[in-house]
Amino acid sequence: MSKGKISILGAGLVGSLLAILLKKRGYEVVLFERRPDTRKLGGIGGRSINLALSHRGLKALELAGIKDTIQRSCIPMPGRMIHDLEGNLDFQPYGKEGQFINSVSRGGLNELLISQAEEHGVEVRFDHRCTEVNFGTATAIFDNGNSESADYLFGADGAFSALRSAMQKTDRFDYSQMYISAGYKELTMPATPEGDFAMDPGALHIWPRGEFMLIALPNLNKSFTCTLFFPFEGKISFDSLKTPEDVEAFFKTTFPDAVPHLPQLKEEFFENPTSSLITVRCYPWVKENTALIGDAAHAIVPFYGQGMNAGFEDCYVFDQLMDKHGSINAKMLEEYQQLRKPDGDAIADLALYNFIEMRDKVADDKFLLQKKIEKKLNELYPDQWVPLYSMVTFSDYRYSEAIARGNKQQAIMDEVLSRPGIEENWEGLDFGEIVKSLK
C-alpha cells in the first residue's frame, strides 16, 4: 500500500534522486519535468557540462543503491593542476593519498538517474512546466493545462524554481538572489588527433589569474570541458574582447599552454553563451505541504564543486528524517528546514569565497605553505585538525560546522604564517601546541 502521493517538480539531479528515495520508502511518486526527455533526443545535445561529485553526493547515491553504477562513469581527480603564465605545472593534491573528487557529465548522470527512478517505479512526466501552485492542496498547475494534487509537493526545480516563485508571493517569505560580477563561458578541448587526452586527466586544471581563471575537467571521451570565469564588464572582460583576434591574443598571453589544445577557440568564444552566476537564499523552505530542496532552496556558485553534492545531501538528510519520524509530516518538514537552512547558507558563503581562492590564492606561496602545514597537522592529529577543503569535500561534517571550524583554524594559521622565518622553519613547529590552541 502506498504511504501517500508525492509530486516532485524538476527531474534534474536532485529531483530524480529524491524520487528514488521516496519511492523506496513506499510513496507513490510522480516527477514533473518542464523539458522534453533528452534520452529520446539521442543523448544530451549541446554543451557538455562537468560536475565534481564528492563524498556527500556519493553517500546519498549509495543510499539509493546506485553509487557503483554512477562511479563507473566518473573520472577521478586527486588534485588541482595549476598552470602558470609560462605553462609550468604544479600538482596540488586535494586531500590524502587515495582521496579524490570525481569528474562526471551532468547530462549523463541526469539521464542515468531518471532511468533509475523509472526502474524503481517512479512515473516521469516530461514537457510539464509548472506555472502556479495551490499550497493548501499541494497542487501544481502546468502550462499544458494539466494539474496534479498530492499529499506533498516538492520543488526540486532549480535556481529559478516555480514553487519558490509561488512562495515568494506569500507573506513573510525571505528571499534573495545575488549575482557575482563575473560570468562564465564553456570551451571545448577535444582529444588529440592520436585520440588521447590533451593534458593529464587525473586533475582539475586551473589557470589562476587573479581577477579571473580558466579551469578544465576531463570527460570520458578524452576531451576536456574548459570554463572561463571572467568579469562581464571592465578593462579585461567579456565586454572588452570584441573580435576573434582580441580573444586569440588574450588567450595566447594569458593561457599560453591551453591555446594549442583549443582549436575552436575563436568560434566557440562568440557562439557559446555567456552565463551568469547566481546565489539564492530563502526561508522558509516549507509552506503547508510543499517544500524546496536542492538549488531551489539554495542555489550557489560553482567554485567549491558542491552544488550537486549539497542537493544530494539534502536528499540524504530528508531520508534520515523520514526514518526518524516514520513518514513525511509537518514536524518532520520543520526539522528538515531547520537542520538544512544553516548548512545551505554555509555552503553558499564557502562557494563565494572559494572563487577568490581558486582564481588567486592557489598560486600564492603562503597558501601553499599553509597547505603543507595543515597536511602535517592532519597526519599527526587526524581527528582534531582537518583542513577546511577536506571537511567540505571528503567528510560529512555539517557545512555550518565546517565553516565554523575552518574559521577557527584559519585564525590560528594566520598567526603561525606571520611568524618570522616560517617559510624555512615550519617543519620545526610545535604541532601539538597548535592543535591545543583549537580548544
236, amino acid identity: I
**Grid cell at residue 411:** 585564525
Closest CB to a copy of itself among 182 and 392?
182
CB of 283 to a copy of itself, least distance (A): 10
Q: Which residues bind a copy of itself (CB under 8 A)?
A: 168, 171-179, 232, 276
Cβ distance 78 to 202 under 8 Å?
yes
Contact 106, 51 (CB under 8 A): yes
Q: Which CB sits closer to a copy of itself, 179 or 270?
A: 179
The set of cell numbers assigned to 245 is: 583576434
Nearest distance from C-beta of residue 168 to a copy of itself, angstroms: 7
Query: How many Å apart are CA 184 and CA 182, to the nearest integer?
Result: 7
Q: Nearest CA to 5 among 304, 327, 253, 431?
A: 327
Minimum separation from the CB atom of position 181 to a copy of itself (A): 9
Instruction: Return the CA Rg of the chain.
Output: 23
Report yes or no: 256 and 270 within 8 Å, Cβ to Cβ: no
- Least spacing, CB of residue 172 vs a copy of itself, in Å: 5
Which H or E run contains 107?
helix 106-119
Tell me, what amino acid is at 4?
G
Nearest to 315 by CA among 130, 145, 61: 61
CB of 13 to a copy of itself, least distance (A): 23
Closer Cβ to a copy of itself, 147 or 165, answer by number: 165
183 vs 218 by CB, closer to a copy of itself: 183
CB of 272 to a copy of itself, least distance (A): 16
Q: Which is nearer to a copy of itself, 85 or 178 (CB)?
A: 178
Q: Which is nearer to a copy of itself, 170 or 192 (CB)?
A: 170
